[in-house]
Amino acid sequence: MTYRNPLILVIGLALTMAMGTGCSTSNQRAIPATPTMTVFCLEGSLMKTDLGSEGSTHGDLTTWWANVYSSMPTSKNPKDTTLVGIASGFMITTGPSKDLGDKDGFEFRVSNFTLKLLDSNDSIVCSGIHRYEEAVGQLTNQVQRPITGGTGQFLGRAGEAIVTAEGDDWFRVDLYLLD
């Protein structure tokens, strides 16, 4: 390719470089090194509804709710800690194991859950897609979910929620909120 006017070449290169830096730079904000808040959920009820053929199929629905506590007591007895909220959500199977060729009995589910703090207008909404054991309704591994919104003090806040199964229907939820 030849350029007849060197000034057009210089202007073109300058514009390309200026626009190109927009792709190579990032406006990402860093997630805090320590959780902004940690709560513990004790699953109250979970229902998996098989909406397709028998077994894991696309569109199966799982709904649940859990009490939210300020800490998880060593006794694992909810009477030994403070109730601070309720969490509730749903999951829809979007990748059943037979569709994924997965012989380990796992499936992918799109999940959405809301953590509502009692005695306030504060709530946090999380969403994401995660791998679950097909035969088990609840989470048995650790997952990272984006925080997609909230109300009250969490209005307009984004971040990540790391949910870790703690056994006996207890889950640790570490919330990393961006400023």
- Using one digit for the tens of pLDDT, what is the confidence trace for 143-160? 899 999 999 999 999 999
Q: Supply the mean pLDDT for the chain.
A: 83
Name the more confident of 104 and 25: 104
Contact between residue 35 and residue 176 where contact means Cβ atoms under 8 Å apart: yes
Q: For the residues of 1-69, what is the DSSP string, one character each?
A: ---S-HHHHHHHHHHHHHHHHHHHS--PPPPPSS-SEEEEEEEEEEEEE--SSSSS-TT-EEEEEEEEE
Q: What is the pLDDT of residue 4?
A: 53
The pTM (predicted TM-score) of the whole model is 0.78
pLDDT band with cut points at 50, 70 and 90 for residue 134 = confident
Q: What is the pLDDT of residue 160?
A: 96
**Which residue type occupies 108?**
F
- Using one digit for the tens of pLDDT, what is the confidence trace for 63-103? 999 999 999 999 999 999 999 999 999 999 888 877 777 66
Name the more confident of 58 and 67: 67
